[in-house]
Each structure stands twice: as structure tokens, then as C-alpha cells.
Structure 1
């Protein structure tokens, strides 16, 4: 059974919301526009699944093209503009937050066991230096 990605693609209403932002940041360089809706769907698929860009399904086009467009839109401020518009529209709850790894910091105690790295290294060295053979008092009974 073949699985279709169509069920995960954005609706016409969702596309209408994003389209105005995309067209406003589009560089007028004379190049034929790509299918921005499909590129945006690919970006959302990558964000939703957490998969690497190289694992983007072929239905969304070349992964490198989608990534380049994502970077262009990021540098142009597209994502900040859409988030501001979503917040002002009231379409999303106030409790909705976006978290990425650039703002997450672990407490220093989350780095490992009590005592930190130095104590773990010393404990490992102590175990490694223990004698591994039997002592002289444990000679076999048979001559």
C-alpha cells in the first residue's frame, strides 16, 4: 500500500495566509518562481518530523533546494513576520510557544553523575588499576 503525503499538506486557507509573506520577501531577480507552496510543505514536513534535510521525500523536490529556500526565508525574516501575524490574529492560543535548541540550556548538574567528570574519570582509573590475577595465597590444590 502506497502512502501519500497529501494528507499532511497544508490547506488552501493555510496557504493563503503564508503566500502573502512569501511573495513579500521574494527577490525580483527575474528567475521563474518555484512552487513555493510545495517548498513550504517540505519545510513543514522537515520541521514536523525532525528528519534531516537529506531525508526529505522526493515529492517535495530536491532537499537542497528546499533547504536553500528555507535559509533565504530565514535571513529575510519571513518566520518572524508570520509568527507576529499569527500572534496578532488570535488564530493561535496564547499558550502556544515555539522552542528550538538555540534557547535550551541544561543546568550544569545535568551533565552527569554527582561529582562531575573528574570524579568519574578517577573512579574509572581506580577500576582499571585493580589487580586482575589471583593472589599468591590462592594457589591451586593440585601439584
Structure 2
């Protein structure tokens, strides 16, 4: 792949219709929505560079915003369509690398039942060695600072 660069105006015109439109808040409180194009550039930078989200350059919106939108775009399949349009065949490799880096948390149905059995068996297998008795005090020797009374 070529070194990463932000998407240009022509690329943005092609992929903008693929991105879901974020509705402005009904109330005029809180922070304004981050620019979708700069968020996408931040997401693509992380995907392309392999860096962590918190290492994003300051020219992009906050990494929390970029990561939140990445998760939404990834779950809806929008991100695969956008990268396929931008990078062509190389997008498969890019998405595969990103999927490998994503954390997955097992649900209750995915937990291993073997782990519970191993925890129950472990106390029966473990036999501690007898410990040698410790001296009554670590300062049992004669201390030059103690005064005899």
C-alpha cells in the first residue's frame, strides 16, 4: 500500500453518500458534532498505520469520537464499503488486519465450560510443601540500639 494520506475532494464526493448522516441534536446543548470527513480520515489513519487510537495526531477529532464512529460504521458494514471504494483489492487486507486487532469479549454462551471444571479440580491437585517455621522476631539477634534494662 502507498503511504497514508487524507482523502481528497474527489474521493470524498464518491464516498460521502455511503456514510450515514448524523442528525443534529434537538437541544442546542453539548458539543457540536465532529466533521464526518475528518473523523473518517482519523479512522483510516488508525487502520492504515496500525497505531492505537490514543496515538492519533491532533489534526483529527478526538480519538474517542473516531473510535465510537468506527464501531458504528464497522457494525453496519459501511466501513467495508468505504474502504473497498477507496482502496479496491487492498481493502480486504486492511479490514482483515483491523479485525485481528479488535478486542472481542466473549458472551455468556461463548464462555468455556472447561474453565469451571479446572477451577474445581485445582484445589485437589495443589499440595503445598510444609513451611519451615519463622523465627519469633526478625530482630531476635542482639541489636546495638537496644538498651539493657
Could you state the TM-score of these two structures normalised by the residue count of structure 1? 0.51
Instruction: Tell me, in whole angstroms, the C-alpha distance in 2 between the residues paired with 1:56 and 1:102.
Output: 19
Q: CA deviation at 1:102?
A: 4.9
Corresponding residue for residue 73 of structure 2? 73
Consecutive unaligned residues of structure 1, counting only runs of 5 or more, are: 1-6, 104-143
Instruction: Tell me, in whole angstroms, the C-alpha distance in 2 between the residues paired with 1:55 and 1:15.
Output: 24
Whether the 8 Å contact between 2:83 and 2:91 is mirrored in structure 1 is no
The size of the alignment, in residue pairs, is 90
Instruction: Tell me, in whole angstroms, the C-alpha distance in 1 between the residues paired with 2:24 and 2:43.
Output: 23
Q: Deviations over 1:42-100 (max 9, x none)?
A: 0111111100000001110211111111111112221233356x39xxx835x874233
Corresponding residue for residue 92 of structure 1? 88
Corresponding residue for residue 15 of structure 1? 12
Instruction: Tell me, in whole angstroms, the C-alpha distance in 2 between the residues paired with 1:44 and 1:96.
Output: 11
Instruction: Tell me, in whole angstroms, the C-alpha distance in 2 between the residues paired with 1:51 and 1:21.
Output: 25
Consecutive unaligned residues of structure 2, counting only runs of 5 or more, are: 27-31, 101-149
Q: Deviations over 1:9-62 (max 9, x none)?
A: 11111111221111xx23446365420110011011111110000000111021
Instruction: Tell me, in whole angstroms, the C-alpha distance in 1 between the residues paired with 2:71 and 2:91.
Output: 24
Whether the 8 Å contact between 2:46 and 2:52 is mirrored in structure 1 is yes
Q: Deviations over 1:109-141 (max 9, x none)?
A: xxxxxxxxxxxxxxxxxxxxxxxxxxxxxxxxx
Could you state the TM-score of these two structures normalised by the residue count of structure 2? 0.49
Corresponding residue for residue 49 of structure 1? 49
